[in-house]
Amino acid sequence: MLPSTFTSLVPDRNWNFQLTEQALLAELWVQVERDIQGVGLNITKPASLELFRQAETLVHFLHQLTPSQLTAWLYRMDFPESRNEPQATVYESKESLAWLILRREAWKVCLRLSYA
């Protein structure tokens, strides 16, 4: 089952943020954009910030990347190649990769908010 909320992306801990779901989703998209722009690329903002729309926009973006652009971006966002996510080494589809990326970016948001 696919995640449907920000906190379902990072269920391993009980995050206690004083932000609404919409604010967390906005922070997630900002993080995605920041890492994409960090390698000189741009992504179109989704029509709405609901999680499914973010994933859909990310899938469309992934289909447009060359292999070298994808590698540069995954490196920039510190995407794990193996460690705790063995499926990260074998991308079954752009869709599964998009959800893994959103999960990684959500962790970054959580860590940033925890130490801010």
Q: What is the pLDDT of residues 84-97, one digit of tens each?
A: 444 444 456 899 99
In tens, the pLDDT along 69-116 reads 988 888 887 877 654 444 444 456 899 999 999 999 999 999 999 887
Give me the residue label for tokens 């906190």.
7
Give me the residue label for tokens 């709405």.
48
Residue 10 covered by a domain: no
Q: Where are the alpha helices (DSSP H) in 10-93?
A: 21-37, 51-64, 67-76
Residue 59 covered by a domain: yes
Structure tokens at 114: 């925890």
Residue 12 covered by a domain: no
- Residue 15's identity, in one-letter code, is W
Residue 3 covered by a domain: no
Count structural domains, the chain. 1
In tens, the pLDDT along 14-60 reads 777 889 999 999 999 999 999 999 889 999 999 999 999 999 999 99
Residue 70 covered by a domain: yes
Residue 5 covered by a domain: no
Query: Structural domain of residue 105, as residue ranges?
Result: 19-115
Query: pTM for the complete prediction?
Result: 0.86
H or E, element range at 56: helix 51-64
pLDDT at residue number 58: 95
pLDDT at residue number 78: 81
Q: How far apart are CA 16 and CA 57, in angstroms?
A: 28
Residue 4 covered by a domain: no
